[in-house]
Structure 1
Amino acid sequence: MRISIWPGASQPYGDVLETARHAAETGWDGVWFADHFMPNSAELERPVLECGSVLAAIGAAVPRVRVGSLVYGNTYRHPAVVANMAATVDQITGGRFTLGVGAGWQINEHEQYGIELPPIGVRIDRFVEALQVIRGLLREPRTTVHGKYYTVTDAVSEPKPVQTPLPVMIGAKGEKRMLRVVAEYADMWNTWGTPDVIAHKSAVLDRHCAEIGRNPREILRTAQALTVVDGPLPDLPMPVIGGSKAELAEAVDAYREAGVDEWIVPDVFLGKGADRFHAMDVVLSLVRP
């Protein structure tokens, strides 16, 4: 099982860079970064770094580890722009970028910036067309998609990524439609969840793959939960794992049993500076004793 760190976007870039460098130096596999412009809370004045800029900077400054978006919201950018951004970051990193994408969801960003946030059904329809545009531009010499929401005609996108193909990861939890989209279009899948939740949703994804005739092992499974290395678990409406080292080790084993290919660790409860690096080392030791 691979292991990656997810630095929070509300900290100074210098802290993000230090975390990424420590990950690269100690044997972690990747660094992910979220695509948001403001907190999804009342703390709207808390700063948030922009995802694409940070990934390009980290990819240029930090060797070896993979970098990826967790995940680009489709509503914020035209998919042709996303494809060009992805290819460029892959060029910058020498082929170490994973393009994570999702349908978009955070209400306050759309309201404040005047960006349309359609009903979920329309959002998914738009997302499917966007995936057709993105995959075409990243993988084909020319791309034509004449859809209801996006139109590209005999379109080129050069340079292509270093990777052939550049992996596309879809963030999704909806079992009826979104996991079907994952089965049809994704190289990787991501969702929040404790191991039992991941095992259940992974089985649903396998059924969608069977229905369309795709080998489910072609889709790598990635997952994350808020992670506590040594301390009480917070009472939050989000998945949380750990508490003690033994409890965290048990969760790591459970993720493996659930078929998770990559465990992503948010750094929010790992402390700062030397404390964070120590917590990262403990977490890494549980994955690679």
Structure 2
Amino acid sequence: MRIGLQIPSFTFSGGQEQIAPEFSRIAREADQGGLRSLWVMDHFFQIGMVGPPEDPMLEGYTALSYAAAQTERILLGTMVTGVTYRHPGVLAKTVTTLDVLSGGRAILGIGAAWNDEESRGLGIPFPPIAERFERLEETLRIFHQMRSGDEKAFDGKHYQLERPLNSPAPLHRPHLPILIGGGGEKKTLRFVAKYADATNLFDSPELAHKLQVLQEHCGREGRDYAEIEKTALTFFRTEKPSVDQAVETVGRLAEAGIDQAIFSQGTGQDLAGILAETVQQTKDIVPSGR
């Protein structure tokens, strides 16, 4: 069973001068503690479920590049990039650059985008949801093409790339993975089955149903369900969580068929050390269905 850590808040004790040293410490502890992955949100304003929009928020790929220099083994990704935030060709170059400089440790986390507040605030186009999903599918197709080294022109409804050159190529083997975040049953999970290497779902009572829907989409797409890594984003509802609580959560998610439990660190929590010990106590747990 794999364990990951998401850092959604950079409101650390000591003010913004402590953001770099504290983020660096957490990344190193997670890496040295054997965690599988480290994630930051790809937002420009803090989101309402974490804090007010004025709270400190780092740009995701710059933050991950900084974390890459502090770590050696842990995988690095955004949870997740809104498709409207960056042109797909530039996004592919950005994630590939992170992959090359980290020695093959990048993941493309992506979704259809939802935060219209920060888009309006920064002047980022935010089309209706149907168009965002069209753009998401084109972006996934472009990323597949660019990560494979195929330079033929891409002519889509929303994006036209005359020569989608991506040099240097990703180092991640067999290829730089795509994780799609979200549990939408008609489009998001269908896109997972068709294009993604991993899915991220919320740890909720609907989890088993969402996995069943994904399995059905895989059947329709001719995709092996077992090929897709199932991840779940979870969090502690207490200020001082324990290793025992983490172990219980990992066991429960494994029983549900989740391959990787990604714990979101709340403001004031310090999870890297707890999760490092949890890794040792849960290393023999095998997700249901394996």
TM-score (ref. length: structure 2): 0.87
Q: Which residue number in structure 2 is paired with residue 261 of structure 1? A: 259
Residue of structure 2 in register with 1:193 after alignment: 203
CA distance in 1, matches of 2:276, 2:34: 9
Residue of structure 1 equivalent to 2:37: 30
Give the secondary-structure state (helix, strand or coil) at the position aligned to 1:155.
Answer: coil
In structure 1, give the amino acid aligned to 2:259: D
| Counterpart residue type for residue 284 of structure 1 | V
The percent of aligned pairs where both chains have the same amino acid is 32
For residues 141-164 of structure 1, give each alpha carbon's deviation from its aligned partner in whole angstroms, at most 9, with x where no partner exists. 314221111111232111110123
Counterpart for residue 269 of structure 2 = 271
Change in 2 beyond 3 A, CA 1:278/1:230: farther
- For residue 57 of structure 1, report the CA deviation from its aligned partner: 1.2
SS at match of 1:190: strand
Question: 1:206 is matched with which residue?
Answer: 215
- The residue aligned with 1:4 is 4
Q: Which residue of 1 aligns with 2:106?
A: 97
Measure, in 2, the Cα distance between the counterparts of 1:188 and 1:214. 13
Going from structure 1 to structure 2, the CA distance change for 1:269 and 1:251 (only over 3 Å counts) comes to farther
In structure 2, give the amino acid aligned to 1:8. P
CA distance in structure 2 between the partners assigned to 1:15 and 1:142 by the alignment:
41
Contact 2:79 2:181 in 1 (8 A): yes
Q: Is the 8 A contact 1:131 1:185 kept in 2?
A: yes
Selected match of 2:177 from 135, 145, 167: 167
Query: Would you say how many aligned residue pairs link Structure 1 and Structure 2?
Result: 274
- CA offset digits 1:159-197 (Å, max 9, x no partner): 110123111111121011111111111011112223x42
The answer for the alignment partner of 2:288 in structure 1 is none
The two structures, once aligned, show a CA RMSD in angstroms of 2.1
For the 8 Å contact 1:143–1:153, the answer to whether it is kept is yes
Distance 2:166 2:242 in 1: 49
CA deviation digits over 1:60-110, x for unaligned, max 9?
221111111111111010000010011111111111111111111111111
Q: What is the alpha-carbon distance in structure 1 between the residues aligned to residue 81 and residue 257 of structure 2?
A: 25
On the 8 A contact 1:252/1:287 being kept in 2, the answer is yes
**Does the 8 Å CA contact 1:137/1:143 hold for their aligned counterparts?**
no
Change (3 A) 1:246 1:88: closer
Contact 1:133 1:143 in 2 (8 A): no
Letter in 2 for 1:155: P
Letter in 1 for 2:42: D
- Letter matched to residue 25 of structure 1: Q
* CA 1:67–1:278: 2 relative to 1, 3 Å: closer
- Asked if structure 2 preserves the Cα contact closer than 8 Å seen for 1:10 and 1:49, the reply is yes
Q: CA deviation at 1:128?
A: 0.3
Structure 2 unaligned spans of 5+:
12-18, 285-290
* Structure 1: gaps of 5 or more residues: 232-242
Task: After TM superposition, give the deviation of residue 230 of structure 1 in Å.
Answer: 7.1
2:283 — aligned with what?
A: 288
Matching residue of 1:121: 130
Q: SS at 1:200's partner residue?
A: helix
CA shift for structure 1 position 113 = 1.2
Query: Which residue of structure 1 lines up, in the alignment, with residue 16 of structure 2?
Result: none
Aligned pairs (5 A) from 1:108-187: 108-163=117-172, 164-187=174-197
The verdict on how the C-alpha distance between 1:20 and 1:151 changes in structure 2, with shifts beyond 3 A counting, is same
